[in-house]
Amino acid sequence: MSTPVSATDSQSVRFVLDGKVVTVSGLPPTTTVLEYLRKVAGRSGTKEGCAEGDCGACTVVLGELSQAGSRIHYRAVNSCIRFLPTIDGKELVTVESLEAPDDTLHPVQRAMIDHHASQCGFCTPGFVMSLFALYLNRSAATRDEVVDALAGNLCRCTGYRPIIEAGCRMSEYLEPERWSPAEAQSKARLENLRAVQRVAPGSTLCFSGYCAPRTLDELAAALETAPHSLVLAGGTDIALWVTKHLRELGPIVYLGDVPELQQIRSSDAGLWIGAAVPLSRAWPALVAAHPALAEQARRFASPPICNSGTLCGNIANGSPIGDSLPALIALGAAIDLRHGARLRRLPLERFFLGYQKKDLQPGEFIVGVALPPPRPERYFSSYKLAKRFDQDVSAVCAAFALEVADGVVADARLVFGGMAATPARAAAAEAALAGQPWSLATVENAAAALAADFAPLTDMRASREYRLQAAGNMLRRFYLQHTPAPPTLRTADALVGMGLAE
């Protein structure tokens, strides 16, 4: 039985692998889990393809104790963009971990073979691990669940039909002695994982170039002392600075071990999501409050990305194509910021000052994002336009929140991503709607006003002209979805010509 982490282990990364506690020290903090597996642990089953979290060949599964400590949550992540110190206190599962003592295959592996779901085999371990995570959580998965689980895995050889078939049939095999859904929650696994939790005073993981505070006050103090440290959450963007740009990072302060930042709170005051809450937990909470976000949530990113990346990380990144931002701004979100003991709340739309410029002082960090409660009288929709359904950057993303009283627009918030240096409201288009009848003619005037709001760029995703036309068409689509009366036949014919109806 392993002993709990003590203060003497504060400079060593500890995690569980194949039922044993592994202790690692002396590696740079930006060492990825993939690098550790292949170069240190000799586990070459995990492959490197893109080194940016797109292809899924590097997929592994992480097990993490629930806040109550009574259950292990297993989720697939991209090991190529996950820094090794961030798996401290967790269980790591690789494709080699599925090997049974008698060499029998796990049901996921058996299904992949029986349904001819592998050819060259390079991508296969990643597919196996994505399906394995699904198997532990939903062994009798539906086809849609299998397709969603594989959204972050690419195959160049086999084609997806046999792989999807394997995922749909994996529950038909006898449960294995190791790594069945029940055995994954066994007492032995729970005890091993509890043993690597940092509960002793002074046991906070902290070594040269890396610190992982355990409380909100400790985090604030660390950043006040070293205000130019790099704040790390999921790393799905920051890790690319290392793997693709080959940058040397400065001191890192990791916020993923602060329990207060893992919270989601829902009350009469609205919804609050902490800065360390992964997207895979944040999006369901958002969709529960605002069902119109369901498609946006499904298309946002792959499960491995959503299992590491955070909603507040998407905010802090400040990308003009951060797909969560238009919806959050349209819904009137605000962010809670902290510097030392000072707290402030800032409307999200005022956080972005320019391209990659934010109203964030050195040593200040995002604590969470707050959304007001849903308003039944408000029309709300969010749209994403991209070349692919899954795993693609938007050409244009839009979110609209609008209130109509007695047939007249009382309030309008039109927010676009991909149209400017930051996600931004369309002030001229909003003015064209305000106080006007909620009609197609009013919407046409607002669509025309978008040219005064934005001067989008032409790039590999879309031309300037296409973006402006698409933005206007999104507004027309919003009108069709929320018009009190069906359009006339003549109007409907015109919408077919715009590609908005069939």
Does residue 488 surpass a pLDDT of 60? no
Confidence of residue 489 (pLDDT cuts 50, 70, 90): very low
What average pLDDT does the segment 363-367 reach? 97
What average pLDDT does the segment 112-137 reach? 96
What does the alpha-carbon distance between residue 404 and residue 327 come to, in Å, rounded to a whole number?
19
Distance of CA 303 to the CA centre of its chain: 8
Q: What is the pLDDT of residue 490?
A: 45
The residue whose two tokens read 């995922």 is 167
Looking at residue 20, the DSSP 8-state letter turns out to be E
Q: What is the pLDDT of residue 497?
A: 52
pTM of the model: 0.92
Stronger pLDDT, 103 or 414, i.e. the higher one: 414
Q: What is the pLDDT of residue 3?
A: 59
- DSSP strands (E only) in 227-377: 230-232, 252-254, 264-267, 270-274, 334-339, 342-347, 352-354, 357-358, 365-371
Does residue 284 surpass a pLDDT of 90? yes
Percent of the chain predicted with pLDDT > 90: 86
Q: What is the SS3 assignment for 475?
A: helix
Q: What is the pLDDT of residue 16?
A: 97
Stronger pLDDT, 495 or 247, i.e. the higher one: 247
Name the token pair of 105: 């295959």
Confidence of residue 348 (pLDDT cuts 50, 70, 90): very high
* Cβ partners under 8 Å of residue 126, min gap 6: 46, 47, 49, 55, 56, 57, 58, 59, 153
Q: What is the pLDDT of residue 7?
A: 54
Pairing of strands 252-254, 210-211: parallel
Nearest partner of 398 among 324, 458, 465, judged by Cα? 324
Q: What is the pLDDT of residue 391?
A: 79
Work out the number of other CB atoms within 10 angstroms of the CB of residue 65.
18
Nearest partner of 255 among 231, 239, 236, 282, judged by Cα? 231
Mind listing the pLDDT tens digit for each residue in 400-427? 999 999 999 999 999 999 999 999 999 9
What average pLDDT does the segment 36-43 reach? 97
What does the alpha-carbon distance between residue 479 and residue 379 come to, in Å, rounded to a whole number?
10
Which residue type is seen at 91? E
Mind listing the pLDDT tens digit for each residue in 139-158? 789 999 999 999 999 998 88
SS (H, E, C) 187-226: HHHHHHHHHCCCCCCCCCCEECCEECCCCHHHHHHHHHHC
φ and ψ of 147, to 5 deg: -60, -45
Work out the number of other CB atoms within 10 angstroms of the CB of residue 202.
10
Confidence of residue 23 (pLDDT cuts 50, 70, 90): very high
Nearest partner of 280 among 97, 129, 99, 149, judged by Cα? 149
What does the alpha-carbon distance between residue 262 and residue 203 come to, in Å, rounded to a whole number?
20
What does the alpha-carbon distance between residue 443 and residue 446 come to, in Å, rounded to a whole number?
5
Report all structural domains of the chain as residue ranges with CATH numbers, in order of start. Answer: 1-205 (3.10.20.30), 256-374 (3.30.465.10), 377-502 (3.30.390.50)
Confidence of residue 318 (pLDDT cuts 50, 70, 90): confident
Nearest partner of 327 among 390, 365, 249, 380, judged by Cα? 380
What average pLDDT does the segment 20-39 reach? 97
What does the alpha-carbon distance between residue 471 and residue 474 come to, in Å, rounded to a whole number?
5
Q: What is the pLDDT of residue 159?
A: 86
Q: What is the pLDDT of residue 321?
A: 84
Task: Mark residue 287 as left, alpha or beta (left: phi above 0; alpha: psi -120 to 50; beta: remaining).
Answer: alpha
In the predicted model, what is the mean pLDDT of the chain? 93
Handedness of CA 181, 282, 354, 250 (dihedral sign): negative
Kindly compute the dihedral angle of the four CA atoms of residues 481, 487, 493, 495, in this order, to the nearest 10 degrees.
-30
Distance of CA 370 to the CA centre of its chain: 17
Given a contact cutoff of 8 angstroms between Cβ atoms, the answer to whether 94 and 84 are in contact is no
What average pLDDT does the segment 71-100 reach? 97
